[in-house]
C-alpha cells in the first residue's frame, strides 16, 4: 500500500518577527520545510501535497526545489489544522493508500519514527505520534490504554487527572486516505476560536467504530519552531545528531562541538575533521581526507587523501582529486584540482582547472572576472607557478610549463616553456639612504 504526505506550511509565524514565511527559515543550511519533506521521504511517498498560505509563492518554490512533483494547494484562510488537511484532500483524489500529516515547522522527525507509524497502521485505523514531555505545559494530552488511543484532550478541557499525564500530542497523524477524507469532512468549528481542529478526528473515529493507536517518540523529534529561540534549539539538536552520526560512521572529529554540519554533508569513513570546520550545503568528503581547522566548505567535493586547510575556503564547484593539498588562506571556486596538485599558500583559484602534480606558488591569483564576464584559466600537468603570479584569464599554461615569480601572465605559455612577465629591476646606488634622509628632514621641519 502506498503513502502520501500532507505537509502543513501555511502559517505566518508572527512570533518569528520576520517577513519570511516561518517554514523557510533555515537550520543546517536548509529551510525547515525541506527537513520535514526529507523526513517524509523515508516512506517513499507516491504523492506529496504542501498546503501553503502566507508567502505561498516562496513556499511553493522551496517545496518544488526539493520535490518537483510536489503538489501545492493554497489555504487562503488559516482556519485550523483540520481545515488545512481538508484543502489538501482533493489533491489526493484517486489515491487509496495511507496519508501522513506532517508539519513544515517540525523539522526533526526521524525516518524510523515514521516507519514505526506505518507498522502501527496494521493494528489501528488512525495512528497518532505522541511524546513523553519533560514539562507537558499546555500540550494536548493523549489518554491511552496501552498503545490504544482513547481520546485527545486539550489542556483547557482536561481534568486534573488528565493534566497529570505526560504523554502529549505531536499533531502528526496517519490514516488511510478514505478514512482521513471521511473524518476531516465531519469536523466542526463549533469552538471558541471558530477553527477546525485535526485532533477532533480521534473522537470522530471512535464514534465511527474505528480504532486509534499511539506511537511514541523522543520529545526532541516533535520540536516545533515558533520563535528564533526555537530555531536555535532545533539547530542545536540537528548538529548534535549529525556529529553523533559522523562519529558512529567512523569519522574522526577532533573537537565535535565545534564542527558545523549542513543538512546534506557526506563524510567518508576515516575522514578527519579538525576543530571549527563549517560545512555549507553540498559537500562530500571522501574516505581518508583531512579537513584542517577553521576551514569553510560549500558545494565542494574532496577526494581520498586530500588535505584542506587550515583556514581554507572551498566554494561551490571546487572539485579536488586524490591527494590534493589546499593550504592556509587559499580560496577555490568552480575549479578542478588534479591528483597530487598543491595550492598551499595565500592564493585564489577560481574558474580554473589545474592538472595533476602541479604546484601553485604563494600569492597566485587567477584573475577570472573582467567586471562583466567570468573567464577560465587552464593549467596543465606538472606545472610550476611561481609565487605572486597573476594569471589574467582567459589564459592557459601547458604541461610542464613554469612562470617566474611576480609575473603577470596575459598570454598562453606553451608546454615546457617559462613565462616571464615583469619589468627589469634597476638598482640605484645610495638612493635609498639619500631619500630617507630627505624624508626625515622634511618630517622634522613639519614638527617644528
Catalytic residues: 345
Task: Cite the DSSP H helix spans in 288-409.
Answer: none
Contact in structure between 101 and 184 (CB atoms under 8 Å): no
From residue 336, alpha-carbon distances to 145, 193, 324, 330, 348 in Å are 61, 59, 10, 14, 13
CA dist., res. 325 & res. 270, Å (int):
18
CA dist., res. 115 & res. 111, Å (int):
6
Contact in structure between 107 and 31 (CB atoms under 8 Å): no
Place of cell 573537537: 255
Task: Cite the DSSP H helix spans in 41-148.
Answer: 56-66, 81-88, 111-120
Contact in structure between 261 and 298 (CB atoms under 8 Å): no
Contact in structure between 231 and 238 (CB atoms under 8 Å): no
Angle of helix 56-66 relative to helix 32-40, nearest 10 degrees?
40
Paired strand residues for 318: 300, 335
* Three cell numbers, residue 153: 484532550
Residues 6+ apart with CB under 8 A from 350: 315, 331, 332, 333, 334, 335, 366, 368, 369, 374
CA dist., res. 263 & res. 107, Å (int):
11
Q: Across 133-273, where does the E strand assignment appear?
A: 141-145, 148-153, 167-176, 212-217, 252-253, 266-267, 272-273
Residues 6+ apart with CB under 8 A from 120: 127, 147, 174, 213, 215
DSSP state of 260: B
C-alpha of 118 from chain center:
27
Task: Cite the DSSP H helix spans in 169-325.
Answer: 177-185, 201-207, 228-248
Amino acid at each position: 500500500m502506498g503513502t502520501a504526505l500532507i505537509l502543513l506550511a501555511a502559517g505566518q509565524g508572527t512570533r518569528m518577527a520576520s517577513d519570511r514565511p516561518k517554514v523557510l527559515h533555515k537550520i543546517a543550511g536548509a529551510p525547515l520545510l525541506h527537513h520535514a519533506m526529507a523526513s517524509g521521504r523515508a516512506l517513499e511517498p507516491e504523492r506529496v501535497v504542501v498546503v501553503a498560505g502566507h508567502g505561498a509563492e516562496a513556499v511553493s518554490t522551496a517545496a518544488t526545489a526539493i520535490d518537483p512533483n510536489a503538489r501545492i494547494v493554497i489555504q487562503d484562510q488559516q482556519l485550523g489544522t483540520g481545515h488545512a488537511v481538508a484543502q489538501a484532500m482533493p489533491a489526493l483524489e484517486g489515491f487509496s493508500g495511507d496519508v501522513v500529516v506532517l508539519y513544515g515547522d517540525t523539522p526533526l522527525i526521524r525516518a524510523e519514527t515514521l516507519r514505526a507509524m506505518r507498522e502501527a497502521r496494521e493494528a489501528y485505523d488512525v495512528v497518532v505520534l505522541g511524546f513523553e514531555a519533560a514539562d507537558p505545559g499546555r500540550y494536548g494530552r493523549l489518554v491511552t490504554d496501552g498503545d490504544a488511543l482513547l481520546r485527545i484532550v486539550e489542556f483547557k478541557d482536561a481534568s486534573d487527572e488528565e493534566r497529570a499525564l505526560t504523554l502529549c500530542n505531536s499533531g502528526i497523524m496517519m490514516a488511510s486516505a478514505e478514512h482521513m477524507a471521511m473524518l476531516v469532512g465531519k469536523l466542526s468549528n463549533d469552538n471558541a476560536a471558530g477553527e477546525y481542529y485535526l485532533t477532533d478526528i480521534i473522537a470522530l473515529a471512535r464514534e465511527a467504530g474505528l480504532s486509534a493507536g499511539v506511537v511514541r517518540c523522543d520529545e526532541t523529534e516533535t520540536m516545533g519552531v515558533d520563535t528564533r529561540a526555537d530555531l536555535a534549539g532545533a539547530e542545536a539538536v540537528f548538529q548534535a545528531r549529525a556529529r553523533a552520526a559522523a562519529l558512529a560512521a567512523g569519522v574522526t572529529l577532533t573537537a565535535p562541538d565545534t564542527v558545523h554540519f549542513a543538512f546534506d554533508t557526506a563524510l567518508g569513513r576515516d575522514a578527519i575533521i579538525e576543530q571549527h570546520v563549517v560545512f555549507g550545503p553540498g559537500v562530500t568528503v571522501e574516505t581518508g581526507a583531512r579537513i584542517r581547522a577553521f576551514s569553510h566548505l560549500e558545494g565542494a567535493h574532496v577526494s581520498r587523501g586530500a588535505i584542506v586547510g587550515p583556514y581554507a575556503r572551498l566554494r561551490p564547484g571546487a572539485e579536488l582529486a586524490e591527494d590534493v593539498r589546499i593550504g592556509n588562506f587559499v580560496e577555490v571556486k568552480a575549479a578542478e584540482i588534479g591528483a597530487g596538485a598543491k595550492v598551499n599558500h595565500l592564493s585564489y583559484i577560481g574558474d580554473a582547472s589545474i592538472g595533476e602534480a602541479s604546484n601553485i606558488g604563494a600569492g597566485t591569483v587567477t584573475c577570472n572576472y573582467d567586471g562583466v564576464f567570468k573567464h577560465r584559466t587552464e593549467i596543465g600537468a606538472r606545472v610550476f607557478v611561481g609565487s605572486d603570479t597573476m594569471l589574467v584569464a582567459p589564459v592557459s599554461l601547458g604541461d610542464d610549463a613554469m612562470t617566474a615569480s611576480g609575473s603577470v601572465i596575459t598570454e598562453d605559455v606553451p608546454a615546457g616553456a617559462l613565462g616571464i612577465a615583469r619589468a627589469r629591476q634597476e638598482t640605484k646606488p645610495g638612493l635609498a639612504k639619500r631619500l630617507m634622509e630627505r624624508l626625515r628632514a622634511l618630517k622634522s621641519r613639519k614638527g617644528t
